Amino acid sequence: MVRQVFFIVFLAFWGLFANGNPNAAGQSNSAPVDDRVGTYSSIAPPYAAPGKDLFVTREGDPFVVTVTATCLLEDDSETQFELLPSAPGFIHVSDTYRKENRAFGYTEGLGVVYITPQVGDAGKYSVILNVKACSGKVERLITFKIHIKPARQD
């Protein structure tokens, strides 16, 4: 299982780095916390990929969701990704990774949300991730739902 999660994380990050142009699809699931933010502090609002409102999986089938926050290059602050307390215990968020694009003058804070449901975790859950970026000038909640079906009985 650890190898599967590592492989999924590797593919997710490779897709983000190789593409270089993140898809902002699914932004409708992000609700701004503070709309007073100026355009000078952020190039794009934080987003999750894949940009879905609902994920359906089975007990024992882990997956990842990547989260990105883009700021201007001169902003050297750390992006923070924090799960709100309502998140179930089988969901974890990684430390922040930082990617700089000097040619275009921006930096990305990248995080990985690990969803690892085990037998007994079947049910419906809501996940709320608080994203703070750009020296605290950007704060946004990213929300999605997870429906975990019981493991297959073979």
Q: Where are the beta strands (DSSP E) in 1-154?
A: 30-32, 42-49, 54-58, 63-72, 80-83, 91-93, 97-101, 106-115, 123-133, 138-149
Question: Is the residue at 107 inside a domain?
Answer: yes
- Domain housing 139: 2-149
For residue 105 the two structure tokens come to 């003058």
Residue 74 counted as domain residue: yes
Nearest to 131 by CA among 69, 40, 78, 86: 69
Using alpha carbons only, what angle is made at residue 17 by residues 101 and 133, rounded to the nearest 5 degrees? 55
Q: Is residue 154 part of a domain?
A: no
Q: State residue 154's pLDDT score.
A: 63
User: Looking at the domain assignment, is residue 134 inside a domain?
Assistant: yes
Is residue 23 situated within a structural domain?
Answer: yes
Whole-number pLDDT of residue 42 = 64
Residue 113 confidence (pLDDT): 97
**Counted domains in the chain:** 1
pLDDT along the chain (154 residues), means of 10: 45 43 38 42 84 95 96 89 94 94 93 96 96 91 96 77
Residue 96 lies in a domain: yes
Q: Supply the pLDDT for residue 44.
A: 84
pLDDT on residue 94: 96
Q: Which of 8, 45, 39 is nearest to 25 (CA)?
A: 45
CATH of the domain at 19: 2.60.40.10
